[in-house]
Structure 1
Amino acid sequence: LRAVFDARLQLVEIADGKEGDSEFRKKLLTDFPSALLTTTKLVAPQLSIHDPDSIFNPGREYFYLRLIFTLAKQSDWRDQLEKAGHIDRCVVLLDHVMKNFSTGSSEPVKNHPYYLAGTLIRLDASDSYRSSGFADKISELEWWELLKGAWSAMWWNDLYREDEPLEALPGIVAYTLESLETEAAKYDSKSLVRVVDRIYEALKDEEAQPDIISAVKNVKDRLDSSGS
C-alpha cells in the first residue's frame, strides 16, 4: 500500500493521459479500485478479538485515505472508485476515525478526519450533503462532527501549508457552510470559531491563493454572524 501511495500522483497522470497505452490505462482503472478494496478490507486479527477496534489500523488507513483522496480528484478514478464501493468503505471508517481522533488516543489518528471528509466529498461529487450518496448512511450529526474534525486536523497538523490538502479546502468550506444550517450545528457552531479563525490568519500569513483565503473567510464570517 505504501508503494502505491508513493505513486499516487503518477496514477493520476496515467488516468489523465489520453495518448498513452489505452489498454493499460483501461485495465488499471478497471482492476485497481477493486483490488485496493480487497487488500485493505477491515478484518480483525484473530489474536485481537477482545479489542473492539482491532480492525482499525491507523497507519494503513492513513495511506489508504490519502491515496484515494488524491485519486478521486481525477474524474475517471472517481467514477471507478465509487463503482468499486469505496464510498461505503469510507463510511465504515468514519466511526473508527472519529472514535480514535476525538478521545485523544495515543494512536496516530491525526490527519484522518481531513482526508476522510475530503475523500467523501470528492468521491460523491454532488456538491451537497443532502443530495449525496452517503446521506442515508451518515447522519447530519456524524457529518458535522467529521467536518469539525477536518478543520481541527488541518490546524493542528499544519495542513494549510501543503498544496494537496489545500486543493480540497473549497469543498470542505462548501459542505461546512451547508452543515451550519442544520440542527446538528445550531448549538455547536461556536466550537469551530477559534480553529477557523486560526486557519484564516495562517493562510494570510502563508500568502495562500486569494480564492482559498476568501473561501475560509466565508466560513469565518458565517460563524461570526451566528455568534453575534
Structure 2
Amino acid sequence: MEDLALSIISMLLEANIPNKAPSAQVLANCTLLAGILLGLNVDKTVLVKVDKSAAIDVLVTKLLVCLQGCVDGAHPQHYASRAKKCLPHALRIIELTGAVPLDGSFFRAGLACCKEIFLGCSAISDNETEDSEDMQRRLFEAGAALHTAICIPQGPLGYVYQPDDSFLYWYGEFTWAHDTRSSHEFEWLIDYICELRELEGYEVEDTLADALLASSAMKSLGSRTREAAYLEVLLWSMGPEQPARLRYAALRATYETRRTLLAAIEDTDGYANLREKLLALSPAILTAISPSVEGSHGVLFDEGRDGCYLKLLFTLVKNPAWCSRLSLDDHINRCISLMAEAADSNPHAFYLAGIFLRITAVSKVLELPLDDMFSRAKLSPPVPGAWDAFPSVYLSGNDDCVEILPDLTELTLEYIPLDRFALETLHERIDWVLDVLRKYSEPESVISAVETLLKVVRTRLNSPLVSI
C-alpha cells in the first residue's frame, strides 16, 4: 500500500502537461496522502471535502511538521525510512506551493535522531543481542533521518533541492544557527561514518554521502582521536571506483576542512604522523572531480563542483608543502584546462587568478621552476573577471582574498587592454573594489596599490591611442 500511495503521488505531481503545474486540488490531495503516510492526523472536516484546495496551506504546514517528527524521534523509527521514500515528493510539494521552509532546527533534529539511533544500536551491538542484518537495518534507519534533514531547506530564503540534485553538495547549508560545537561532539558521527564504510549493499554509498555532507558542518577533521579514521574515509570515498555522489560529498567535506588542512601541514609537530596521509588528499581531490562513466557527471566544467574545487585549492596553495604537492599531482594543468570555461565566470575567475598568483609567489620564494605550460601570459584571461568577482568573494567572508590584490594589480598592469569598452569596464570594476576596501578599512598598502592601477587605467582611457 505504501508503494502504491507513493506511485499515485508521483503520477499526480509529475503529470505530463506542458507548461502547467498541478492544480491546487491535486496538490492538496497529494499533500494529504503524503502526510497520512507520515502519521498525519487530519481534521475530519478536511477529509470529507471533495475540494481540499482551501486547506492547502494548513496541509503543507502539517506535512513539514510530520517530516520534522520523523527526524526528531517524535514518531516511531519506521517513519524515518518512510520519510526518506516520501521526501522527493514532499520537496516537490514545498517547491510548487512556495511553502516557507523551516529553519536550521530541522538539520539539528535530524542529526540528533541519527545519533540516538546509532548510539542505541551500538549499545545493543556491545551486548551482542542483535544479528548483523538487524544492525544494518538500524544503521540505515539512522541514515534515513539524516537524509531527510539535510534535504529540507533552511531559513526563509532556502532553496529546495531534490536528494539527487548536485546543487545540494555544493550549496546546501549544513550548519547550526548560533550554535558552536566542539570537535568532540562529532565523534559519534565519525564513528557512524566508519561503521557505514564496513557495510555492503546498494544503499551504503548514498547513506555514507549523506553522512559526509552532515560531517562538513564540523569544519574540521574532528577530534585528535578520530582524525586518522576520518581521513581514511575521505580518501576512500574520493576513489575512482566510487559513484559521483559519494565522491562529491567527500569533496564538499574536504573543502569545509580547508583551514584545518592548511594549519595541520604548518604544524609539523602536532600532525607529523598524519602529514603523508594529509598530502595524499591531493591526488584524491583530483580523482573526485574527474569525469566518470555516469554521463552528465563527466562534463569538463561544472559551476558548483569546480567552484568548490578552486576555492579549496586557493586556500591550500598558500602553503609551500601543499603547493608543491598539488603541482606535482597535475592540479596546475587541471586549472589551465578550466581557464577557457571559467575565465569569465564569477567567482571562478578570481580563484583561478589567485591560485596562479600564489603558485608564482611560492615558486619564487622556494626558487622552483614553473611548469612549461605555466606563464604570465596565460594568466591574463581571468584578470577582468577577477576584479569583477572580488567584491562578492570578499563580502562572502573570504578575507584571504585581500592579500593577493597587490599581485593581481601588478599582473593587470602588464596586460591592460587597448579596447575602450574593455578599459571602461575594467575601470568601473577596479573603482568598485576600491570602494569596498575603503569601506572596510583594509590595509593602506593594498588600497594604495589598487589606487595606482586605477590611475593608470584612467590615463589610458584618456589617451587618443585607445581603440574604439
Give TM-score, length-normalised by structure 2. Answer: 0.40
Q: 1:23 to 1:46 in 2, by over 3 A?
A: same
Return the structure number with greater relative CO, CA threshold 8 A, min gap 6. 1
1:177 and 2:413 aligned: yes
1:45 CA drift (Å): 4.3
Q: 1:177 to 1:147 in 2, by over 3 A?
A: same
Q: Which residue of 1 aligns with 2:272?
A: 22
**How far apart, in 1, do the equivalents of 2:312 and 2:382 lie?**
19
1:135 CA drift (Å): 7.3
Flag structure 1 segments of 5+ consecutive residues without an equivalent. 102-108
Matches within 5 A, 1:4-153: 4-29=254-279, 31-43=280-292, 45-46=294-295, 54-98=299-343, 101=344, 109-125=345-361, 133=370, 136=373, 140=377, 143-153=379-389
**Of 357, 380, 394, which residue of structure 2 is paired with 1:159?**
394
Listed one character per residue, the Cα deviations across residues 5-48 of structure 1 (whole Å, up to 9, x for unaligned) are 1110000101111212323113322x221111122124574258
1:171 CA drift (Å): 2.1
Listed one character per residue, the Cα deviations across residues 69-126 of structure 1 (whole Å, up to 9, x for unaligned) are 000011111111111111100011111213xx4xxxxxxx531110111012212335
* CA-based RMSD: 2.7
**How far apart, in 2, do the equivalents of 1:47 and 1:196 lie?**
37
Q: Which residue of 2 aligns with 1:204?
A: 438
Q: 1:217 to 1:197 in 2, by over 3 A?
A: same
**Of 456, 459, 464, which residue of structure 2 is paired with 1:222?**
456
Does the residue aligned with 1:145 lie in a helix, a strand or coil?
A: coil
**How far apart, in 2, do the equivalents of 1:47 and 1:70 lie?**
28
- The percent identity for this pair of structures is 27
Does the residue aligned with 1:73 lie in a helix, a strand or coil?
A: coil
Q: 1:48 to 1:213 in 2, by over 3 A?
A: closer
Give TM-score, length-normalised by structure 1. Answer: 0.78
Larger radius of gyration: 2
Aligned length: 205
**How far apart, in 2, do the equivalents of 1:158 and 1:24 lie?**
31
Q: Would the aligned equivalents of 1:43 and 1:55 in 2 still touch at CA under 8 Å?
A: no
Q: 1:168 to 1:44 in 2, by over 3 A?
A: farther
**How far apart, in 2, do the equivalents of 1:63 and 1:69 lie?**
10
1:143 CA drift (Å): 3.5
1:186 and 2:422 aligned: no
1:162 CA drift (Å): 3.9
Q: Would the aligned equivalents of 1:42 and 1:55 in 2 still touch at CA under 8 Å?
A: yes
Q: Which residue of 1 aligns with 2:238?
A: none
Q: 1:123 to 1:43 in 2, by over 3 A?
A: farther
1:136 CA drift (Å): 4.2
Q: 1:23 to 1:42 in 2, by over 3 A?
A: same
Q: Which amino acid aligns with 2:339?
A: L
